[in-house]
Amino acid sequence: MIRTMRIAAASQYFKAATQAATVGTIGGPAALEFRRSYSSDLPVNYGAVGKPGRSAVSGIQATVFGSTGFLGRYVVNEFGQIGSRVLLPTRCNDNARQHLKPMGDVGQIYFMDYDCMDKEDLAKAVAGSNIVINLIGKELPTGNFSFKDVHETVPALIAQACAEEGVSKFIHVSALGACESSPSEFYRSKAAGEAAVKAAFPSASIVRPALLVGWEDSFFNRIAQGSKYLPFFPLVDGGQTKYQPVYCPDVALAIKTIALSEESGLTYELAGPKVYTFKECVDLVFEVIRERKPSLMVPSFLAKLAVSPMDYMQSKLPFPWSMPVAGGSWTVDAVESMASDYVASGNYPGFDHLGITPSKLEGLNIDYLRAYRAGGYDFGKEASEI
């Protein structure tokens, strides 16, 4: 039955595409003019068949770059559970991507090995897709890929491929705080990437999520881990940098909502409902894991001096490496980024515009941190009491 539904949907799609490609002339000898028909001529969910669910047919063919990352798994799940066909270009082996396969019905989630700098590979990856989502990013440069490579060059190449292949919607995920004048190279490269994407694909939607938190995050988990390594917890300049952490599954839902909407070309700021200083984030984690570590106020210039050797080693290594302390990768660039706050400006649409209520962090959404309790998982408060 499912196969019959998919065949019917495909037949309906190609019939409409053929009608769009055939144009009769008026006057003179009867003739036919043909033009190339792109998937952008039809709605992104054209040909949807069946009740909502993984075994339905949403009519969507999506390509998701960066699917093996923190946010990627949630985005793939959002599209898989509505019956979309999702292509995942990856550079990893099967062990690092096999968890994505069950997120859709049989045959709906499939992989492609590719080179992110190869234009032909990128063209193959987006050809036939009506939605393309770029989640590629990294918090540390390596000897193989710099921030410029990952956050500017690769997104520009993907956007160019989407424009040439007639993709209906391209969604590029950047970061809240992206700014050309940022003291951090990470955020400067994110801003340059946004500009490069818009130049190649003017109708691209830009998503700027705030600090992502959740089960696999590198923020709250790193704070909890760091509390186990040192006799004190370092707070750069007193930990007064402000963040507006957002629950990762909420951002994935927002990306799906943007993909299915009729709007294009907007920039979205997706932030959580509450603003925290870094010190307040540390205190929140310590409350969950029942930690009693003292804090140490570290001036930013001393923090840069302390992490400079690690920065040098990182530039020589082909893979990310850093000390898991201070709530993330502790590098000179990370210390410099703490000179700015990362909260929503209010100048761009956010969750309210998409009809989504962001989740609060306290309680079940950070219950995974209980695994770090020295007295055992059940030692201390329950999630409902926080």
> Domain locations in the chain?
61-298+304-372
301-354 pLDDT tens trace: 898 888 887 777 766 666 655 554 444 567 888 899 998 999 999 999 999 999
pLDDT band at 373 (very low <50, low <70, confident <90, very high): confident
Give the C-alpha separation, 335 to 314, whole Å.
15
pLDDT band at 246 (very low <50, low <70, confident <90, very high): very high
Tell whether the model's pLDDT for residue 171 goes beyond 50: yes
Tell whether the model's pLDDT for residue 178 goes beyond 80: yes
Pick from 19-28, 148-157, 215-224, 260-269: least confident: 19-28
Report the pLDDT averaged over residues 247-253. Answer: 97
Q: Where are the beta strands (DSSP E) in 157-309?
A: 169-173, 205-209, 212-213, 233-236, 242-243, 246-247, 267-270, 276-277, 295-298
188-208 pLDDT tens trace: 999 999 999 999 999 999 999
- Per the DSSP assignment, residues forming a β-bridge with 33 are 23
264-281 pLDDT tens trace: 999 999 999 999 999 999
More confident residue, 321 or 154: 154
Per DSSP, helices labelled H in 93-146 are 119-126
Under 8 Å between Cβ of 39 and 129: yes
Domain 61-298+304-372 superfamily per CATH: NAD(P)-binding Rossmann-like Domain (3.40.50.720)
Q: How far is CA 225 from CA 10, 371, 374, in A?
A: 50, 11, 12
Angle CA 188–190–195, to nearest 5: 95
Whole-model pTM: value is 0.83
Ranges 157-166, 220-229, 279-288, 303-312, most confident = 157-166
More confident residue, 100 or 326: 100
